[in-house]
Structure 1
Protein backbone atom coordinates (compact mmCIF):
# COMPACT_ATOMS: atom_id res chain seq x y z
CA UNK A 1 0.00 0.00 0.00
CA UNK A 2 1.39 3.39 -0.97
CA UNK A 3 1.89 6.27 1.44
CA UNK A 4 -0.95 8.13 -0.25
CA UNK A 5 -3.33 5.19 0.16
CA UNK A 6 -2.42 4.86 3.84
CA UNK A 7 -3.03 8.57 4.52
CA UNK A 8 -6.35 8.88 2.66
CA UNK A 9 -9.38 7.74 4.71
CA UNK A 10 -11.97 5.58 2.99
CA UNK A 11 -15.01 7.42 1.73
CA UNK A 12 -17.96 6.83 4.06
CA UNK A 13 -21.56 8.03 3.72
CA UNK A 14 -22.28 11.06 5.85
CA UNK A 15 -24.03 10.27 9.12
CA UNK A 16 -27.78 9.97 8.61
CA UNK A 17 -27.53 9.77 4.81
CA UNK A 18 -29.03 6.70 3.08
CA UNK A 19 -26.76 4.55 0.91
CA UNK A 20 -26.70 5.57 -2.74
CA UNK A 21 -28.47 2.37 -3.78
CA UNK A 22 -31.38 2.96 -1.39
CA UNK A 23 -31.76 6.56 -2.56
CA UNK A 24 -31.81 5.47 -6.19
CA UNK A 25 -34.53 2.90 -5.47
CA UNK A 26 -36.66 5.50 -3.66
CA UNK A 27 -36.34 8.00 -6.51
CA UNK A 28 -37.08 5.34 -9.15
CA UNK A 29 -40.31 4.42 -7.36
CA UNK A 30 -41.64 8.00 -7.29
CA UNK A 31 -42.80 8.06 -10.92
CA UNK A 32 -45.02 4.97 -10.74
CA UNK A 33 -46.47 6.16 -7.42
CA UNK A 34 -47.36 9.52 -8.93
CA UNK A 35 -49.00 7.89 -11.94
CA UNK A 36 -50.99 5.48 -9.76
CA UNK A 37 -52.16 8.33 -7.53
CA UNK A 38 -53.25 10.49 -10.47
CA UNK A 39 -55.13 7.62 -12.10
CA UNK A 40 -56.77 6.72 -8.79
CA UNK A 41 -57.95 10.33 -8.41
CA UNK A 42 -59.08 10.34 -12.06
CA UNK A 43 -57.12 13.51 -12.81
CA UNK A 44 -55.77 14.25 -16.28
CA UNK A 45 -52.26 15.54 -16.88
CA UNK A 46 -53.76 18.74 -18.28
CA UNK A 47 -55.87 19.36 -15.16
CA UNK A 48 -52.94 18.58 -12.86
CA UNK A 49 -50.74 20.93 -14.87
CA UNK A 50 -53.26 23.73 -14.50
CA UNK A 51 -53.48 23.25 -10.72
CA UNK A 52 -49.75 22.89 -10.03
CA UNK A 53 -48.21 25.13 -12.70
CA UNK A 54 -46.02 22.24 -13.85
CA UNK A 55 -46.02 21.63 -17.60
CA UNK A 56 -47.74 18.55 -19.00
CA UNK A 57 -44.47 17.34 -20.55
CA UNK A 58 -42.65 17.63 -17.21
CA UNK A 59 -45.43 15.75 -15.39
CA UNK A 60 -45.37 13.01 -18.03
CA UNK A 61 -41.57 12.64 -17.82
CA UNK A 62 -41.75 12.65 -14.02
CA UNK A 63 -44.26 9.78 -14.03
CA UNK A 64 -42.28 7.79 -16.62
CA UNK A 65 -38.97 8.24 -14.82
CA UNK A 66 -37.49 10.54 -17.44
CA UNK A 67 -37.34 13.46 -15.01
CA UNK A 68 -35.69 13.32 -11.59
CA UNK A 69 -38.12 14.24 -8.78
CA UNK A 70 -37.18 17.38 -6.86
CA UNK A 71 -38.78 19.31 -4.02
CA UNK A 72 -39.81 22.02 -6.50
CA UNK A 73 -41.91 19.42 -8.30
CA UNK A 74 -43.07 17.24 -5.41
CA UNK A 75 -44.29 20.01 -3.07
CA UNK A 76 -46.99 21.37 -5.44
CA UNK A 77 -48.00 17.79 -6.29
CA UNK A 78 -48.38 16.90 -2.62
CA UNK A 79 -50.57 19.99 -2.15
CA UNK A 80 -52.67 19.15 -5.19
CA UNK A 81 -53.24 15.55 -4.01
CA UNK A 82 -53.62 16.62 -0.35
CA UNK A 83 -51.13 14.04 0.88
CA UNK A 84 -47.98 14.18 2.98
CA UNK A 85 -44.75 14.59 1.04
CA UNK A 86 -43.34 11.34 2.44
CA UNK A 87 -46.25 9.46 0.85
CA UNK A 88 -45.06 10.49 -2.60
CA UNK A 89 -41.52 9.25 -2.01
CA UNK A 90 -42.48 6.29 0.21
CA UNK A 91 -40.18 7.47 2.98
CA UNK A 92 -39.15 4.72 5.43
CA UNK A 93 -41.05 4.56 8.68
CA UNK A 94 -39.61 6.33 11.69
CA UNK A 95 -41.25 3.97 14.15
CA UNK A 96 -44.04 6.40 15.00
CA UNK A 97 -47.35 4.67 14.13
CA UNK A 98 -49.46 7.79 14.47
CA UNK A 99 -51.20 9.25 11.45
CA UNK A 100 -51.25 13.04 11.24
CA UNK A 101 -54.39 13.75 9.22
CA UNK A 102 -54.91 16.97 7.34
CA UNK A 103 -58.64 17.64 6.94
CA UNK A 104 -59.83 18.93 3.58
CA UNK A 105 -63.17 19.96 2.12
CA UNK A 106 -64.72 18.62 -1.06
CA UNK A 107 -68.24 19.00 -2.44
CA UNK A 108 -69.26 20.88 0.73
CA UNK A 109 -68.28 18.17 3.20
CA UNK A 110 -65.19 17.70 5.37
CA UNK A 111 -62.88 14.68 5.02
CA UNK A 112 -60.37 13.60 7.67
CA UNK A 113 -57.99 10.96 6.24
CA UNK A 114 -57.34 8.04 8.57
CA UNK A 115 -54.86 6.18 6.36
CA UNK A 116 -51.56 7.16 4.80
CA UNK A 117 -51.00 4.66 2.01
CA UNK A 118 -51.84 5.47 -1.59
CA UNK A 119 -52.98 2.00 -2.62
CA UNK A 120 -55.67 -0.33 -1.34
CA UNK A 121 -58.49 0.72 0.93
CA UNK A 122 -58.78 4.35 2.04
CA UNK A 123 -60.33 5.28 5.38
CA UNK A 124 -61.91 8.66 6.12
CA UNK A 125 -64.01 10.33 8.74
CA UNK A 126 -66.58 12.41 6.88
CA UNK A 127 -68.61 15.27 8.32
CA UNK A 128 -71.81 16.47 6.63
CA UNK A 129 -73.17 19.87 7.69
CA UNK A 130 -76.91 20.21 8.46
CA UNK A 131 -78.99 20.21 5.30
CA UNK A 132 -76.14 18.86 3.19
CA UNK A 133 -77.00 17.14 -0.09
CA UNK A 134 -80.51 18.43 -0.69
CA UNK A 135 -81.23 17.95 -4.37
CA UNK A 136 -77.74 16.60 -5.07
CA UNK A 137 -77.31 14.58 -8.23
CA UNK A 138 -76.19 10.99 -7.58
CA UNK A 139 -72.66 10.16 -8.72
CA UNK A 140 -71.18 7.03 -10.30
CA UNK A 141 -67.56 5.85 -10.18
CA UNK A 142 -65.49 2.68 -9.88
CA UNK A 143 -65.08 1.17 -6.43
CA UNK A 144 -66.85 -0.14 -3.37
CA UNK A 145 -67.73 1.78 -0.22
CA UNK A 146 -68.47 0.81 3.39
CA UNK A 147 -69.70 3.38 5.91
CA UNK A 148 -70.46 3.41 9.64
CA UNK A 149 -72.48 6.26 11.15
CA UNK A 150 -70.97 7.80 14.29
CA UNK A 151 -73.47 10.56 15.03
CA UNK A 152 -76.36 12.42 13.48
CA UNK A 153 -78.44 11.23 10.56
CA UNK A 154 -77.05 10.23 7.17
CA UNK A 155 -79.30 9.93 4.14
CA UNK A 156 -78.15 7.53 1.43
CA UNK A 157 -79.71 7.60 -2.00
CA UNK A 158 -78.75 4.49 -3.96
CA UNK A 159 -80.33 4.08 -7.35
CA UNK A 160 -84.10 4.37 -6.74
CA UNK A 161 -83.80 3.66 -3.02
CA UNK A 162 -83.75 6.14 -0.13
CA UNK A 163 -82.24 5.07 3.19
CA UNK A 164 -81.84 6.91 6.48
CA UNK A 165 -78.97 5.71 8.67
CA UNK A 166 -78.55 6.50 12.36
CA UNK A 167 -75.64 6.08 14.81
CA UNK A 168 -74.26 2.55 14.80
CA UNK A 169 -75.76 1.59 11.46
CA UNK A 170 -73.62 0.29 8.59
CA UNK A 171 -74.08 0.30 4.82
CA UNK A 172 -71.94 -1.05 1.99
CA UNK A 173 -72.50 -0.66 -1.73
CA UNK A 174 -70.99 -0.77 -5.19
CA UNK A 175 -70.17 2.81 -6.21
CA UNK A 176 -71.02 2.03 -9.84
CA UNK A 177 -74.63 2.35 -8.69
CA UNK A 178 -75.74 6.04 -8.71
CA UNK A 179 -75.46 7.27 -5.13
CA UNK A 180 -75.51 10.42 -3.01
CA UNK A 181 -75.14 11.24 0.69
CA UNK A 182 -77.20 13.83 2.55
CA UNK A 183 -77.82 15.09 6.07
CA UNK A 184 -81.53 15.67 6.71
CA UNK A 185 -80.96 16.38 10.41
CA UNK A 186 -80.40 19.65 12.30
CA UNK A 187 -76.93 18.63 13.54
CA UNK A 188 -73.71 17.73 11.69
CA UNK A 189 -73.57 14.06 10.74
CA UNK A 190 -70.35 12.09 11.10
CA UNK A 191 -69.51 8.71 9.65
CA UNK A 192 -66.50 6.51 8.93
CA UNK A 193 -65.96 5.57 5.32
CA UNK A 194 -63.80 2.85 3.79
CA UNK A 195 -63.40 3.13 0.05
CA UNK A 196 -61.65 0.82 -2.39
CA UNK A 197 -61.03 2.39 -5.79
CA UNK A 198 -60.42 -0.98 -7.44
CA UNK A 199 -63.44 -2.66 -5.89
CA UNK A 200 -61.85 -3.97 -2.71
CA UNK A 201 -64.70 -4.94 -0.43
CA UNK A 202 -65.11 -4.97 3.33
CA UNK A 203 -66.94 -8.06 4.54
CA UNK A 204 -69.35 -7.45 7.40
CA UNK A 205 -72.03 -9.61 8.96
CA UNK A 206 -75.24 -7.92 7.97
CA UNK A 207 -78.83 -8.54 7.12
CA UNK A 208 -80.54 -7.14 4.00
CA UNK A 209 -82.16 -3.80 4.76
CA UNK A 210 -85.22 -4.06 2.59
CA UNK A 211 -87.25 -6.35 0.36
CA UNK A 212 -85.25 -9.46 1.20
CA UNK A 213 -82.17 -8.50 -0.82
CA UNK A 214 -79.33 -10.97 -0.86
CA UNK A 215 -76.39 -8.60 -0.67
CA UNK A 216 -75.40 -9.04 -4.31
CA UNK A 217 -73.73 -6.39 -6.48
CA UNK A 218 -75.22 -2.99 -5.83
CA UNK A 219 -77.22 -4.22 -2.85
CA UNK A 220 -77.13 -2.02 0.23
CA UNK A 221 -76.66 -3.87 3.51
CA UNK A 222 -77.69 -2.20 6.72
CA UNK A 223 -77.11 -3.39 10.23
CA UNK A 224 -76.30 -2.49 13.79
CA UNK A 225 -73.36 -4.15 15.52
CA UNK A 226 -74.34 -7.06 17.75
Structure 2
Protein backbone atom coordinates (compact mmCIF):
# COMPACT_ATOMS: atom_id res chain seq x y z
CA UNK A 1 0.00 0.00 0.00
CA UNK A 2 1.31 3.48 -0.90
CA UNK A 3 1.68 6.16 1.76
CA UNK A 4 1.76 9.53 -0.08
CA UNK A 5 2.13 11.54 3.15
CA UNK A 6 5.20 9.52 4.13
CA UNK A 7 6.69 10.01 0.65
CA UNK A 8 6.16 13.77 0.87
CA UNK A 9 7.68 13.99 4.36
CA UNK A 10 10.67 11.85 3.32
CA UNK A 11 11.62 14.49 0.75
CA UNK A 12 11.54 17.42 3.19
CA UNK A 13 14.97 16.76 4.75
CA UNK A 14 16.97 16.86 1.51
CA UNK A 15 15.10 20.01 0.40
CA UNK A 16 15.83 21.71 3.72
CA UNK A 17 19.52 20.82 3.47
CA UNK A 18 19.70 22.05 -0.15
CA UNK A 19 18.02 25.36 0.73
CA UNK A 20 20.35 25.94 3.69
CA UNK A 21 23.44 25.12 1.64
CA UNK A 22 22.27 27.35 -1.23
CA UNK A 23 22.26 30.22 1.27
CA UNK A 24 25.66 29.16 2.67
CA UNK A 25 24.05 29.12 6.13
CA UNK A 26 25.29 27.00 9.00
CA UNK A 27 22.96 25.01 11.22
CA UNK A 28 23.84 27.38 14.06
CA UNK A 29 22.96 30.48 12.01
CA UNK A 30 19.69 28.92 10.85
CA UNK A 31 18.90 27.94 14.45
CA UNK A 32 19.29 31.57 15.53
CA UNK A 33 17.11 32.74 12.63
CA UNK A 34 14.30 30.23 13.20
CA UNK A 35 14.31 29.63 16.97
CA UNK A 36 14.81 25.90 16.39
CA UNK A 37 17.85 24.14 17.82
CA UNK A 38 20.76 23.13 15.59
CA UNK A 39 20.17 19.54 16.72
CA UNK A 40 16.53 19.66 15.62
CA UNK A 41 17.54 21.16 12.26
CA UNK A 42 20.14 18.44 11.74
CA UNK A 43 17.63 15.69 12.57
CA UNK A 44 15.07 17.25 10.19
CA UNK A 45 17.62 17.43 7.37
CA UNK A 46 18.72 13.82 7.95
CA UNK A 47 15.15 12.51 8.05
CA UNK A 48 15.49 11.36 11.67
CA UNK A 49 12.70 13.70 12.80
CA UNK A 50 9.29 14.02 11.20
CA UNK A 51 8.68 17.74 10.49
CA UNK A 52 5.75 19.57 12.05
CA UNK A 53 3.99 22.67 10.76
CA UNK A 54 5.45 24.63 13.71
CA UNK A 55 8.95 23.74 12.47
CA UNK A 56 8.29 24.21 8.76
CA UNK A 57 6.76 27.70 8.99
CA UNK A 58 9.87 29.44 10.40
CA UNK A 59 12.06 27.45 8.00
CA UNK A 60 10.00 28.57 4.99
CA UNK A 61 10.25 32.19 6.21
CA UNK A 62 14.00 31.94 6.80
CA UNK A 63 14.64 30.44 3.37
CA UNK A 64 12.22 32.84 1.66
CA UNK A 65 10.18 30.09 0.01
CA UNK A 66 6.51 29.12 0.11
CA UNK A 67 5.67 26.31 2.51
CA UNK A 68 4.61 24.25 -0.53
CA UNK A 69 8.22 24.23 -1.73
CA UNK A 70 9.34 22.49 1.47
CA UNK A 71 6.82 19.67 1.37
CA UNK A 72 6.64 18.92 -2.34
CA UNK A 73 9.19 19.10 -5.11
CA UNK A 74 8.54 21.95 -7.53
CA UNK A 75 6.68 20.91 -10.69
CA UNK A 76 8.97 19.74 -13.44
CA UNK A 77 8.69 20.43 -17.12
CA UNK A 78 6.94 23.79 -16.66
CA UNK A 79 9.42 26.68 -16.42
CA UNK A 80 6.72 29.32 -15.98
CA UNK A 81 6.74 31.36 -12.80
CA UNK A 82 3.28 31.83 -11.36
CA UNK A 83 3.31 35.49 -10.39
CA UNK A 84 1.65 36.38 -7.10
CA UNK A 85 1.81 40.13 -6.45
CA UNK A 86 2.50 41.30 -2.91
CA UNK A 87 1.22 44.70 -1.79
CA UNK A 88 3.29 46.42 0.87
CA UNK A 89 3.42 50.09 1.92
CA UNK A 90 1.67 51.22 -1.28
CA UNK A 91 4.01 49.20 -3.53
CA UNK A 92 3.10 46.24 -5.67
CA UNK A 93 5.97 43.72 -5.78
CA UNK A 94 5.83 40.79 -8.19
CA UNK A 95 8.47 38.12 -7.46
CA UNK A 96 10.06 36.88 -10.68
CA UNK A 97 12.27 34.18 -9.13
CA UNK A 98 11.44 31.25 -6.87
CA UNK A 99 14.77 29.88 -5.72
CA UNK A 100 15.98 30.54 -2.20
CA UNK A 101 19.13 32.53 -1.58
CA UNK A 102 21.19 34.34 -4.15
CA UNK A 103 19.91 37.22 -6.21
CA UNK A 104 16.13 37.68 -6.30
CA UNK A 105 14.29 39.43 -9.14
CA UNK A 106 11.12 41.53 -8.74
CA UNK A 107 8.94 43.79 -10.81
CA UNK A 108 8.07 46.69 -8.50
CA UNK A 109 5.30 49.19 -9.20
CA UNK A 110 5.53 52.46 -7.26
CA UNK A 111 2.29 54.47 -6.91
CA UNK A 112 2.04 57.99 -8.36
CA UNK A 113 4.09 60.56 -6.49
CA UNK A 114 2.56 62.04 -3.36
CA UNK A 115 2.62 65.89 -3.49
CA UNK A 116 4.20 65.83 0.00
CA UNK A 117 6.01 62.49 0.22
CA UNK A 118 7.24 61.16 3.54
CA UNK A 119 10.62 59.79 2.66
CA UNK A 120 11.59 57.13 5.15
CA UNK A 121 15.18 56.39 4.32
CA UNK A 122 15.91 52.67 4.74
CA UNK A 123 19.05 50.65 5.29
CA UNK A 124 19.50 46.89 5.31
CA UNK A 125 22.03 44.25 4.33
CA UNK A 126 22.36 43.59 0.64
CA UNK A 127 22.96 45.03 -2.77
CA UNK A 128 20.29 46.23 -5.20
CA UNK A 129 20.11 46.96 -8.91
CA UNK A 130 17.07 48.43 -10.64
CA UNK A 131 16.05 49.30 -14.18
CA UNK A 132 13.21 51.71 -14.98
CA UNK A 133 10.70 49.97 -17.26
CA UNK A 134 8.04 52.71 -17.26
CA UNK A 135 7.63 56.17 -15.72
CA UNK A 136 10.11 58.29 -13.79
CA UNK A 137 11.73 57.50 -10.45
CA UNK A 138 13.01 59.74 -7.71
CA UNK A 139 15.97 57.96 -6.08
CA UNK A 140 17.62 59.29 -2.93
CA UNK A 141 20.90 57.64 -1.91
CA UNK A 142 22.58 59.08 1.14
CA UNK A 143 22.92 62.83 0.51
CA UNK A 144 22.42 62.56 -3.26
CA UNK A 145 19.17 62.67 -5.23
CA UNK A 146 18.62 61.37 -8.75
CA UNK A 147 15.76 61.25 -11.25
CA UNK A 148 15.77 58.25 -13.55
CA UNK A 149 13.61 57.62 -16.60
CA UNK A 150 12.78 54.71 -18.87
CA UNK A 151 15.87 52.70 -19.77
CA UNK A 152 18.04 54.02 -16.93
CA UNK A 153 19.47 51.81 -14.20
CA UNK A 154 21.09 52.18 -10.78
CA UNK A 155 23.10 49.85 -8.58
CA UNK A 156 23.81 50.48 -4.89
CA UNK A 157 24.79 49.07 -1.51
CA UNK A 158 21.58 48.92 0.56
CA UNK A 159 23.51 49.70 3.75
CA UNK A 160 23.56 53.30 2.49
CA UNK A 161 20.32 55.09 3.49
CA UNK A 162 18.03 55.13 0.46
CA UNK A 163 14.50 55.88 -0.77
CA UNK A 164 12.83 55.18 -4.12
CA UNK A 165 9.48 56.50 -5.36
CA UNK A 166 7.66 57.70 -8.44
CA UNK A 167 8.77 61.19 -9.48
CA UNK A 168 5.53 62.14 -11.24
CA UNK A 169 1.76 61.69 -10.96
CA UNK A 170 1.97 58.35 -12.80
CA UNK A 171 3.05 54.96 -11.45
CA UNK A 172 6.65 53.89 -12.04
CA UNK A 173 7.57 50.30 -12.92
CA UNK A 174 11.00 48.88 -12.13
CA UNK A 175 12.79 45.61 -12.65
CA UNK A 176 14.77 45.04 -9.45
CA UNK A 177 17.50 42.56 -8.60
CA UNK A 178 18.26 42.21 -4.91
CA UNK A 179 20.94 40.15 -3.17
CA UNK A 180 20.47 39.88 0.59
CA UNK A 181 24.02 38.65 1.10
CA UNK A 182 25.55 41.55 -0.86
CA UNK A 183 25.76 39.85 -4.24
CA UNK A 184 26.23 42.32 -7.05
CA UNK A 185 24.74 42.22 -10.52
CA UNK A 186 27.49 41.90 -13.11
CA UNK A 187 27.43 42.07 -16.86
CA UNK A 188 29.94 39.78 -18.56
CA UNK A 189 31.80 41.34 -21.49
CA UNK A 190 30.79 39.87 -24.83
CA UNK A 191 33.38 37.76 -26.63
CA UNK A 192 33.42 38.38 -30.37
Q: Does 1:170 align with 2:153?
A: yes
Structure 1: gaps spanning 5 or more residues: 1-12, 40-44, 49-55, 206-226
**Structure-2 residue corresponding to 1:183:** 166
**Structure-2 residue corresponding to 1:114:** 96
Distance 2:82 2:56 in 1: 19
Number of residue pairs aligned between Structure 1 and Structure 2: 177
Q: CA RMSD in A?
A: 3.9
Q: Equivalent residue of 2:117, what SS?
A: coil
Kept in 1, the 8 Å contact 2:12–2:72? The answer is yes
| TM-score after normalising by structure 2 | 0.71
Q: Does 1:27 align with 2:22?
A: no
Q: CA offset at residue 72 of structure 1?
A: 6.9
Deviation by residue 1:63-84 (Cα, 9 ceiling, x = unmatched): 4546532457646976898843
Q: CA offset at residue 62 of structure 1?
A: 6.0
Q: CA offset at residue 26 of structure 1?
A: 3.2
* Higher Cα Rg, which structure: 1
Kept in 2, the 8 Å contact 1:128–1:189? The answer is yes
**Structure-1 residue corresponding to 2:127:** 144
| TM-score after normalising by structure 1 | 0.62
1:1-226 to structure 2, matched below 5 A, reads 14=2, 24=10, 26-30=12-16, 33=19, 59-60=36-37, 63=41, 65=43, 68-70=50-52, 74=56, 83-89=65-71, 91-131=73-113, 134-204=117-187
Farther off after superposition, 90-99 or 184-193:
90-99
Deviation by residue 1:71-105 (Cα, 9 ceiling, x = unmatched): 57646976898843333347154111001121111
Q: Equivalent residue of 1:180, what SS?
A: strand
Structure 2: gaps spanning 5 or more residues: 26-30
Distance 2:15 2:105 in 1: 24
Kept in 2, the 8 Å contact 1:146–1:194? The answer is yes
